[in-house]
Amino acid sequence: MTRAARILGLTLLGLGVTTSALAQDPLQPYQMVRSLQLVQDRLASGDHAALPMQNKLLEMADARFRASKSDDFKEPKNLRALLVYGMSGGNPATVKGAAGRIQLDETNQAIVDGILDYLGGQPGPAIAALQPIDPMTLSPDVGAFVALIKGSLLAIDDPVQALKLLDQARLLSPGTLVEEAALRRSVAIATTNGDAARFAQASTQYVERYLLSPYASQFADSFVAGVVTLHMALSQDKLADITSMMDTERERVIYLRIARRAAIDGLNELSAFASTKAVPEDKGATQADDPRAELYASLSSITSATVDDIRAKLKTIDRNRLSPGDRSLLDAAQQITQEVVAPPIPAVFDLPPSTAAGSQPKSNVAAQEKAAAASDQAGKAQATAAPDDGSDLPPVEDAISERPATETAAKPPETPPSAIQDAATQPPPATILPASANGGSDTTDAAIADMKRKLDKIDLLLGASPQ
């Protein structure tokens, strides 16, 4: 007997249903749905073996509701069970067919309509149907789901009200999959709303209670995005307090994901902090033990630290242990540091008269070709790194991997034909004289301009990389 089958047997026994009873009379709909809820609560607590049993119970409940008659719903518990079934992942067609055989009052009809619209991907009609329904006036099993659905629907248009509804869902159904979902969605809404305090509170409660849930990877996505978005309002000490409740492996992966996102967004302090925290202190490890931590730390300081030190660190990274996307980031970073230390190409007026009048020396031509090749390689690395979504990093859970948004660089507007024609008839621009040709100019202008060009290239690289 499989573990899932044992769970079902124990669940039915807990409801007072024996094997002989099953042989004589079919289970009532409310008994099946109650069994489904118990299994889902086991899922929320981290019992992943209950997942197949959830699917089996959904199939059994679907068949039972399809075969039900109007007399079955004279029992109020069966009617509530139909509503809970629909909001627990049930078949919308089954809910619609069963509801059509029942004479519903106004409140229950509105709930059915809202459920069907919500499951059918029609948020507008769903909000309109559920708007007059107060979840706190319903029975707790139905009210919790109604509050959860309403909170999810209002997340964009009214995040403050959405958070209140999610709190009601948690109050009506503590310790269940409903509370797990409510907390998980509260984290994302608090980020959108810019509420760092609520973000930290919901994250702490989720990590304490539901970190082993099969849906915890969705929480990890929202948590990483929230830390990066709210980095100005969320202290590093608070972040460390939340992650300290995780096991070592989950904490390490979370910090690696934060370090990557922060480095790409140019959040140097956060990236450096996360890169350091990604190394387990109790094992005496260093950043070099994980090439990703070393890479992200280098990216965060590429414009501020000594270039020679960064080049040395980048050379020690084992590219064979990186994903294709991170290899592209490594290649681009190496090209940029190489260009920063490359000697400037002398202007035409700095060359001897014979050279200025004719062709440039081979060394200058080689230097120009090398710089052009470096720029082309950096551009290719940007294009390669852009579609990477960080899915190569070890997932916090098996359900969903990181899905950061990807921001692509906008294409430059095409030059109108008239502008192209005008440019063709204009004389070439005058060559800018070097500082030595003008005694009143600052001799550092050329170096500053060259450095600004390189920093602009870094900004472009980070802007085109995955968020």
- Give the model's confidence band at 464: pLDDT under 50 very low, under 70 low, under 90 confident, else very high: very low
Q: Is 406 helix (H, G, I), strand (E, B) or coil?
A: strand
Whether 186 and 198 have beta carbons less than 8 Å apart is answered as: yes
Q: What is the pLDDT of residues 93-119, one digit of tens each?
A: 999 999 999 999 999 999 999 999 999
Measure the CA–CA gap between 118 and 133, rounded to whole angstroms. Answer: 15
Whether 262 and 270 have beta carbons less than 8 Å apart is answered as: yes
Measure the CA–CA gap between 104 and 73, rounded to whole angstroms. Answer: 10
Measure the CA–CA gap between 257 and 71, rounded to whole angstroms. Answer: 55
- Whether the pLDDT of residue 434 is over 90: the answer is no
Return left, alpha or beta for 440; rule: phi > 0 is left, psi -120 to 50 is alpha, else beta. alpha
Between 150 and 447, the more confident residue is 150
Count of beta carbons in the 10 Å neighbourhood of residue 156: 11
Specify the pTM.
Answer: 0.66
Q: Which residue has the tokens 């480095």?
A: 263
Q: What is the arithmetic mean of pLDDT over 422-429?
A: 38
In the 8-state DSSP scheme, what is residue 466? B
- Whether the pLDDT of residue 433 is over 70: the answer is no
Instruction: Kindly state the tokens that stand for 386.
Output: 């852009």
Q: What pLDDT, on the 0 to 100 scale, is given for residue 339?
A: 64
Sequence-distant (6+) residues with CB within 8 A of 146 are 87, 111, 114, 130, 133, 135, 138
Task: Report the range out of 20-29, 30-39, 331-340 with the highest average pLDDT.
Answer: 30-39
Q: What is the arithmetic mean of pLDDT over 406-420?
A: 39
Count of beta carbons in the 10 Å neighbourhood of residue 124: 9
Q: 405 phi and psi, to 5 degrees?
A: -65, 145
Between 138 and 420, the more confident residue is 138
- Give the model's confidence band at 279: pLDDT under 50 very low, under 70 low, under 90 confident, else very high: confident
In the 8-state DSSP scheme, what is residue 235? -
Of the ranges 8-17, 165-174, 290-299, 339-348, which one carries the lowest mean pLDDT score? Answer: 8-17
Q: What pLDDT, on the 0 to 100 scale, is given for residue 422?
A: 39
Q: What pLDDT, on the 0 to 100 scale, is given for residue 320?
A: 75
Q: What is the pLDDT of residues 118-167, one digit of tens each?
A: 999 999 999 999 999 999 999 999 999 999 999 999 999 999 999 999 99
Q: What pLDDT, on the 0 to 100 scale, is given for residue 424?
A: 35
Between 208 and 300, the more confident residue is 208
Three-state SS across 246-279? Answer: CCHHHHHHHHHHHHHHHHHCCCHHHHHHHHHHCC
Q: What pLDDT, on the 0 to 100 scale, is given for residue 278?
A: 83
Measure the CA–CA gap between 466 and 404, rounded to whole angstroms. Answer: 7
- Give the model's confidence band at 275: pLDDT under 50 very low, under 70 low, under 90 confident, else very high: confident
Q: What is the arithmetic mean of pLDDT over 336-355?
A: 59
Say what percent of the chain tops pLDDT 70.
57
Q: What is the arithmetic mean of pLDDT over 397-408?
A: 37
